[in-house]
């Protein structure tokens, strides 16, 4: 059984994960649940798009075997005396900017794995730190599931597709691929042999700010530890990741960098 956990408002990114799951599994289960535990009080839990009717139709068209769309009562009913704590892997990137975010995700995915009991679960590279943390959770908590990572699905202009893109005004939507372009430029430079990316990153950050983005982070991180790296080495795997605000809307994107030996 394959499993694709989502918060709904299904788009091409989610659909691609469902199709990957279908390649590996006979039956695919999709969950749709806007998990309150991963939203901070000042975040967009209330506004988050909820389109269950359309989502169910899409799942049916794709041949999904079952959709699990629980209520809050099912997921968090009853008193809770326990919590999950993440000690590492969440100091930087989204973990650094959104305290409690990955604890909320680890909690809900832990529950979902125990309820759905999948053999394979597919997550998107779009949320690469989430993938890395869940990989660790599976290892440390002995979940009997294999994780697969699906590539980032993008609009024609390069913007990573996201349920939150619906918050963007027309003008913001036109600007939004700037984050992708900055990442692509830096990736090219790193593959061309720039080993110490600090100046390059600073310059791109300033360019983004000049274009009207508020940069939350824009840096190169080790894949294994999710820590910033000052100097890249051959044969290692890195994440070039960025998060920006356009107005109130937070956009994230990343690229994996692997320098060949
Ligand atoms: P969400 O509904 O935003 O919680 O996302 C559910 C799953 O879809 C997560 O594993 C995300 O990483 C993945 N996902 C979201 N956007 C994309 C995208 N543009 N391409 C590929 N996967 C995505």
DSSP state string for 23-65: HH-SSEEEEE---GGGS-TTSSTTTS---HHHHHHHHHHHT-S
Cα(205) to centroid(ligand 1), Å: 25
Distance CA 61, CA 250 (A): 31
DSSP for residue 153 = P
pLDDT of the residue at 129: 98
**Number of residues in the chain:** 261
Determine the straight-line distance between the first and last CA of the chain, rounded to whole angstroms. Answer: 37
The reported pLDDT for the residue numbered 261 is: 79
> Is the separation of the CB atoms in 127 and 106 below 8 Å?
no
Ligand 1 near 132 CB (within 6 A): no
Degrees to nearest 5, angle at CA 25 with 19 and 30: 60
Contact 20, 12 (CB under 8 A): no
Pick left, alpha or beta for residue 260 (phi over 0 → left; psi -120 to 50 → alpha; otherwise beta).
beta
Phi and psi at 248, nearest 5°, equal: -85, -10
3-state secondary structure (DSSP) of residue 219: strand
Ligand 1 pocket check for 2: Cβ under 6 Å: no
Which of helix, strand or coil describes residue 194?
coil
Cα within 13 Å of Cα(212), Cβ side: 12
Dist CA 70 CA 106 (whole Å): 17
pTM attached to this predicted model: 0.97
Query: Which are the contacts of 192, defined by CB distance < 8 A and separation ≥ 6?
Result: none
Alpha-carbon distance of 88 to 68, in angstroms, equals 30
Residue whose Cα lies nearest atom 5 of ligand 1: it is 6
Q: Any idea which residues carry the catalytic annotation? A: 14
**Per-residue pLDDT for the chain (261 aa), expressed as one digit of tens each?**
999 999 999 999 999 999 999 999 999 999 999 999 999 999 999 999 999 999 999 999 999 999 999 999 999 999 999 999 999 999 999 999 999 999 999 999 999 999 999 999 999 999 999 999 999 999 999 999 999 999 999 999 999 999 999 999 999 999 999 999 999 999 999 999 999 999 999 999 999 999 999 999 999 999 999 999 999 999 999 999 999 999 999 999 999 999 887
Whether ligand 1 lies within 6 angstroms of the CB of 35 is answered as no
16 pocket-lining for ligand 1 (C-beta < 6 Å)? yes
List the residue whose alpha carbon is closest to atom 11 of ligand 1.
Answer: 124
pLDDT of residue 260: 83
Give yes or no for a contact between 253 and 162, defined as CB atoms under 8 angstroms apart.
no
DSSP bridge pairs for 58: none
CB 201 within 8 A of CB 191: no
């Amino acid at each position: 059984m394959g499993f694709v956990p989502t918060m709904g408002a299904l788009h091409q990114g989610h659909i691609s994960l469902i199709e990957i799951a279908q390649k590996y599994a006979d039956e695919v289960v999709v969950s749709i649940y806007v998990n309150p535990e991963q939203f901070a009080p000042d975040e967009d839990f209330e506004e988050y798009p909820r389109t269950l009717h359309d989502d169910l139709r899409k799942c049916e068209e794709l041949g999904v075997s079952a959709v699990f769309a629980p209520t809050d009562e099912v997921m968090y009913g009853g008193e809770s005396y326990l919590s999950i704590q993440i000690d590492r892997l969440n100091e930087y990137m989204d973990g650094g900017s959104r305290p409690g975010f990955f604890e909320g995700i680890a909690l809900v995915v832990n529950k979902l794995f125990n309820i759905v009991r999948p053999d394979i679960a597919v997550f998107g590279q779009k949320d690469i730190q989430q993938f890395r943390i869940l990989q660790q959770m599976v290892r440390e908590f002995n979940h009997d599931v294999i994780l697969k990572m699906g590539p980032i699905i993008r609009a024609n202009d390069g913007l990573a597709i996201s349920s939150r893109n619906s918050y963007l005004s027309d003008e913001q939507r036109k600007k939004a691929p700037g984050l992708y372009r900055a990442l692509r430029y830096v990736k090219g430079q790193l593959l061309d042999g720039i080993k110490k990316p600090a100046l390059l990153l600073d310059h791109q950050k300033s360019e983004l700010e000049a274009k009207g983005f508020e940069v939350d982070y824009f840096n190169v991180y080790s894949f294994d530890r999710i820590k910033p790296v000052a100097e890249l080495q051959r044969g290692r795997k890195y994440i070039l990741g960025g998060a920006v605000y356009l107005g109130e809307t937070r956009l994230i994107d990343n690229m994996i960098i692997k320098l060949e030996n």
